[in-house]
Amino acid sequence: MASRTLSRPVLRKRAVTALLYAALVLFAVWVLFPFWFLVNSSFMTPAEAVAVPPHWIPEEPTLGNYSAILAGQVAPGGAQVGLRVLTALGESFAVGILTVVANLALGGTAAYSMSRFRFRGSRLSYFSVLFARLVPPIAIVAAFFVALRDLGLINSRYGLVVVYISFTLPITILVLKNYFDGLPRELDEAALVDGASRLQALWYVIRPIARPGFIAAACLVFLESWGEFFYALTLTNQLTIPPVLAGFRGFFQFNWTTLAAATVLAVVPPVLLALVFQRYVVRGLAQGVAK
């Protein structure tokens, strides 16, 4: 027998390798299994989705749930569900993109300043960013609620963007400052020697080189904004997609399968973004969050 001719250390090593691969399979199940029935149901008719025992694969696959949402239709059994989901997805994109743009403009300049210049209060500025990073959003919601209510900005896209800057801007500044710190000062100095102004040096020299940092910050901010639930729940009337998904309640008043399709549509953009920019995101996460 082959195994007799193998020495014990070799056998041990093979056993360990087999265990590691088994662990890898378990890990994949942990990640993917929760998605399975959701994605599965999103391609089913409402009647098939409640079959007992559940079908592991749709027997009569249908795109009806998706087409109802994407066409903004009234889904069978649910009033205006499709239209609400489509509108909310659009708002989520709008809020996310506006939040990213505001973050890059405000955070880019501030991070560059904190990386390169010392001025009266520069240490205080940096510590105030760190402090702002530590203030949990839920702790200051009351002030936002009263202020937006008095300004008539409850359920406003722009109101939500302003609120989202409170927890995203510190992340942007920390990620970008970290990135700028890694770029040699000689770059700025060479540009200045060549006759560029300090602003030109930032825009024409540093900005293009720091692109990976900007991509990382933009991704992190978009992900935070896309998934934010508490403020969207309390400061809007289901404006963006998270409170719309959470608001699907009393499941039997509409059909489950539309919720499944809506949830799939809501999870695809952030997952795709994270996968496409994986390298940037992971680096930004490690350096901006952990440092």
Distance CA 273, CA 288 (A): 18
Binders in 38-57 for another protein, by CB under 8 A: 38, 40-41, 49-50, 52-54, 56
Among 94, 140, 187, 215, binds another protein (CB under 8 A): 140
What token pair was written down for 70? Answer: 């994407």
Task: Establish if 128 lies at the interface with another protein (CB under 8 A).
Answer: yes
Provide CB contacts within 8 A for 169, sequence distance 6+: 103, 106, 107, 129, 132
22 contributes a contact to another protein by CB under 8 A: no
Site string for another protein, 218-257 (x = CB under 8 A): -----x--xxxxx--xx-------x--xx---------x-
* CA–CA dist 169, 172 (Å, integer): 5
Rounded to the nearest whole angstrom, what is the least distance from the CB of residue 34 to another protein in the complex?
5
Q: Which DSSP helix (H) or strand (E) runs through 94?
A: helix 81-116
Sites for another protein among residues 177-206 (CB under 8 A): 198
Rg of the chain in Å (alpha carbons): 25
Residue 84 tokens read as 């609400």
By CB under 8 A, tell whether 274 contacts another protein: yes
User: Tokens standing for 29?
Assistant: 């199940």
34 near another protein (CB under 8 A): yes
Stretch 54-73 residues interacting with another protein (CB under 8 A): 54, 56
Q: Are 11 and 3 in contact (CB under 8 A)?
A: yes
Contacts of 275 (CB under 8 A, 6+ apart): none
Rule CB under 8 A: is residue 215 a binding residue for another protein? no
Spell out, one character per residue from 92 to 111, where the chain touches another protein: x when CB under 8 A holds, - when not. -------------xxx-xx-
- Of 27 and 204, the one with the shorter C-beta distance to another protein is 27
Select 1 or 143, whichever has its Cβ closest to another protein.
143
Smallest distance from another protein to CB 49, Å: 5
- Which of 5, 7, 8, 31 binds another protein (CB under 8 A)? It is 31
Place of tokens 């998934």: 227
